[in-house]
Chain A
Amino acid sequence: AQKVTQAQTEISVVEKEDVTLDCVYETRDTTYYLFWYKQPPSGELVFLIRRNSFDEQNEISGRYSWNFQKSTSSFNFTITASQVVDSAVYFCALSEAGGTNTGNQFYFGTGTSLTVIP
């Protein structure tokens, strides 16, 4: 079973519209981390946010905001007033603790390709 599901494969919006990217995760661990990464057309992967399982506070960073809800196992990402530069593939990821000395294993979703039309 997929541990991280990003059901939206592709989304297109017109510039200045708001858009929400959905992420649903599955884990039995009580301690885990959630992440969002951005992959622009140039191909690099850019870290956007990390959230741990004990912190359900929503976070806002400029036009970006994240909504973490443990009750629905979701960690959604909203871009307000989208811009052309937001066009990218966005990945949600889950990290679970591995063995005591081996570090955390990561699971990425399949990504959502966002196109912002000028």
Chain B
Amino acid sequence: EAQVTQNPRYLITVTGKKLTVTCSQNMNHEYMSWYRQDPGLGLRQIYYSMNVEVTDKGDVPEGYKVSRKEKRNFPLILESPSPNQTSLYFCASSLAGSYEQYFGPGTRLTVT
């Protein structure tokens, strides 16, 4: 089944404790992206990647890192999480040029 998977689905952590949210797709998509969803703000793009080792900042990259070492994986790294990073995070992927993004199920992160 074609899908985008994210792990973990739920995470509660404390300020400053490094964490990684994994994202993997099995559709051989070139484009991958991370978003955060907050009430009243819609979805905001954090980072995106067109290919292996090619990444770029979205609208809200501060406090986040990404890497694209393999085509199928695009982990989101929070080196020192803060409470304002409490949010619902979505990973997405699409074929290059299509941009019809397939979204993962979301990861709900709470930073206390």
- Chain A, interface residues (CB within 8 Å), range: 20 to 34
Count of B interface residues, CB-CB < 8 Å: 31
Summarize B's interface: helix, strand, loop or mixed. strand
Instruction: Please indicate the chain B residues that have their CB under 8 angstroms from the CB of A101 in the complex.
Output: 50-51, 54
**CB nearest neighbor in B for A111:** B42
**Partner-A contacts on B (CB < 8 A):** 30-31, 33, 35, 40-45, 48-51, 54-56, 58-59, 88, 90, 92, 96, 98-103, 105-106
Which of A13-21, A53-61, A80-88, A102-110 lines the interface with chain B? A102-110
The A/B interface has a contact count, at CB < 8 Å, of: 70
Q: List 28 A-B contacts (CB under 8 A).
A: A35-B99, A43-B88, A43-B105, A44-B103, A44-B105, A45-B103, A50-B98, A50-B99, A91-B43, A93-B43, A98-B48, A101-B50, A102-B54, A103-B30, A103-B54, A103-B56, A104-B31, A104-B48, A104-B99, A105-B56, A106-B48, A106-B101, A107-B59, A108-B35, A108-B43, A110-B40, A110-B41, A110-B42
